[in-house]
């Protein structure tokens, strides 16, 4: 591990600028007075920074209004908000089953999106060609000024080496060993590419424009083809010194459960990923159970996939519901462990595998977090579903770009080698 390091004044300046921008973003609209209260910076510093943000086009100032509670006297107060058109980013989600892309503005609004399935056994070259096509498609559809395009964020299955932009032996992509995906996508698009694993990207998306906008400490459980996690602790993404933190999918949720490909037994992913759920349902159906799903299974066993299973559970099919309830119980076990370990303020569930049963999971996990963590008498941890639905990782991918450019990051402030984060203005 590195020694504790100090920092120099130029870095403090850009860090403070990002602190102010972050405070404006997370509050929606705010005033200079409130900014000083929230950030602890002096009114003079706030005033200088806001002037710079306005000049850079990153922030918009709305008309003067009298201060709240005044009868018209006193100095009028103007409100500040992030300028949505200041910059745009494309988020790409690469999943073993599909490729999606979204174009998002600074406020997190999705302006264009595309998604397509991909065949099993897809190689890196073909995948990058499809991603490049998806990027061009959303950029064309949104018709934004090219100079305001800040870059491309790529969310892909872990494990990855973020610094080198490599995908490292992903368990569900045979032959993808140390693929330099970020560099390949940069060549294909001509844009700068920032890469992260899908779960961390989704968590950053939630912090940028979703349910965790104002939350400094939260855990995100991402349910896709596999199960991943993302952590924000003390307002910073937490990755761990070797960047493999938050592997919530490999927390033991069922001690007597099946072996996992990681070498452990009873991992959350091994008992709760879509493939495990479908296998569980088919085992029960083969045993001759009744119900709507059983009728579909009798006609064509192949029709019982994850989507059909979740749909049947949401519609009240008993067998399907029993499979989903088991997953909800495993998920609750993992969520209680995460909460006990990290003392977070919020737990977020997101990702495409929530399907039609997200609310069943949310309710079960919320009930567990109200009854089981040791600190429950001090504070209760709410559970939120990501509003981004199946697009959580793609939207997260786009927010990687904004986060990298604009979020106040201690790693940058305290890095002895990295340059300070320059305000990447809209007009560069």
Q: Which residues bind Zn ion (CB under 5 A)?
A: 250, 260, 262, 264, 267
Closest approach of Cβ 272 to Zn ion, in Å? 11
Closest approach of Cβ 170 to Zn ion, in Å? 14
Q: Which is nearer to Zn ion, 272 or 383 (CB)?
A: 272
d(CA 228, CA 223): 7
Reference 181, options 172, 169, 110; nearest CA is 169
Closest approach of Cβ 338 to Zn ion, in Å? 15
Question: What distances in angstroms separate CA 400 from CA 19, 142, 143, 196, 406, one per listed residue?
Answer: 17, 19, 21, 8, 10
Q: Which is nearer to Zn ion, 262 or 279 (CB)?
A: 262
> 197 CB contacts (<8 Å, ≥6 apart)?
155, 156, 157, 158, 159, 160, 228
Q: Which is nearer to Zn ion, 142 or 260 (CB)?
A: 260
Q: Which is nearer to Zn ion, 64 or 174 (CB)?
A: 174
Within 10 Å of residue 285's Cβ, how many Cβ atoms? 21
d(CA 324, CA 278): 10
Closest approach of Cβ 87 to Zn ion, in Å? 38
Closest approach of Cβ 260 to Zn ion, in Å? 3
**401, 150 Cβ separation under 8 angstroms:** yes
The pair of structure tokens assigned to 314 is: 């949401």
Closest approach of Cβ 262 to Zn ion, in Å? 3
How many Å is the Cα radius of gyration of the chain?
23
How wide is the angle at C-alpha 155 spanned by C-alphas 154 and 159, nearest 5°?
Answer: 120
Closest approach of Cβ 198 to Zn ion, in Å? 17
Q: Which is nearer to Zn ion, 125 or 261 (CB)?
A: 261
d(CA 311, CA 309): 5
**223, 310 Cβ separation under 8 angstroms:** no
Closest approach of Cβ 401 to Zn ion, in Å? 31
Q: Which is nearer to Zn ion, 14 or 197 (CB)?
A: 197
Alpha helices in 219-374 (DSSP H): 268-272, 274-286, 292-299, 306-314, 318-342, 358-371
Q: Which is nearer to Zn ion, 106 or 273 (CB)?
A: 273
How wide is the angle at C-alpha 374 spanned by C-alphas 370 and 379, nearest 5°?
Answer: 55
Q: Which is nearer to Zn ion, 160 or 252 (CB)?
A: 252
């Amino acid at each position: 591990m590195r020694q504790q390091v100090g920092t120099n004044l130029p870095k403090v300046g850009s860090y403070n600028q990002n602190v102010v921008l972050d405070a404006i973003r997370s509050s929606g609209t705010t005033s200079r007075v409130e900014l000083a209260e929230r950030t602890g910076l002096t009114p003079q510093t706030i005033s200088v920074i806001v002037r710079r943000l306005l000049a850079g086009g990153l922030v918009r100032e709305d008309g003067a209004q009298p201060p709240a509670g005044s009868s018209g006297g006193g100095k009028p107060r103007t409100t500040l908000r992030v300028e949505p058109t200041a910059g745009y980013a494309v988020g790409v989600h690469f999943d073993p089953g599909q490729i999606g892309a979204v174009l998002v503005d600074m406020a997190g609004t999705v302006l264009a999106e595309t998604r397509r399935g991909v065949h099993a056994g897809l190689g890196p070259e073909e995948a990058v060609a499809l991603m490049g096509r998806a990027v061009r498609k959303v950029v064309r559809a949104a018709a934004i000024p090219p100079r305001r395009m800040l870059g491309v964020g790529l969310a892909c299955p872990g494990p990855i080496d973020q610094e080198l932009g490599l995908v490292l032996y992903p368990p569900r992509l045979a032959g993808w060993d140390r693929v330099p995906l970020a560099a390949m996508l940069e060549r294909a698009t001509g844009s700068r590419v920032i890469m992260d694993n899908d779960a961390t990207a989704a968590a950053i998306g939630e912090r940028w424009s979703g349910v965790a906008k104002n939350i400094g400490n939260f855990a995100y459980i991402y349910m896709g083809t596999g199960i991943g996690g993302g952590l924000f602790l003390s307002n910073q993404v937490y990755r761990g010194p070797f960047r493999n933190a938050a592997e919530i999918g490999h927390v033991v949720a069922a001690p007597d459960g099946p072996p996992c490909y990681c070498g452990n037994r009873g991992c959350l992913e091994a008992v709760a990923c879509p493939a495990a759920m479908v296998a569980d349902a088919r085992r029960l159906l083969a045993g001759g159970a009744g119900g709507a799903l059983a009728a579909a299974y009798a006609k064509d066993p192949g029709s019982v996939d994850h989507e059909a299973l979740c749909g049947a559970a949401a519609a009240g099919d008993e067998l399907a519901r029993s499979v989903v309830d088991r997953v909800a119980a495993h998920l609750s076990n993992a969520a209680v462990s995460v909460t006990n370990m990290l003392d977070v303020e919020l737990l977020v569930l997101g990702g495409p595998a929530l399907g039609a049963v997200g609310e069943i999971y949310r309710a079960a996990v919320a009930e567990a977090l109200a009854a089981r963590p040791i600190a429950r008498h001090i504070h209760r941890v709410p559970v939120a579903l990501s509003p981004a639905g199946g697009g959580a990782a793609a939207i997260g991918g786009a927010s990687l770009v904004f986060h990298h450019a604009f979020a106040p990051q201690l790693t940058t402030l305290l890095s002895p080698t990295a340059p300070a984060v320059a305000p990447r203005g809209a007009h560069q």
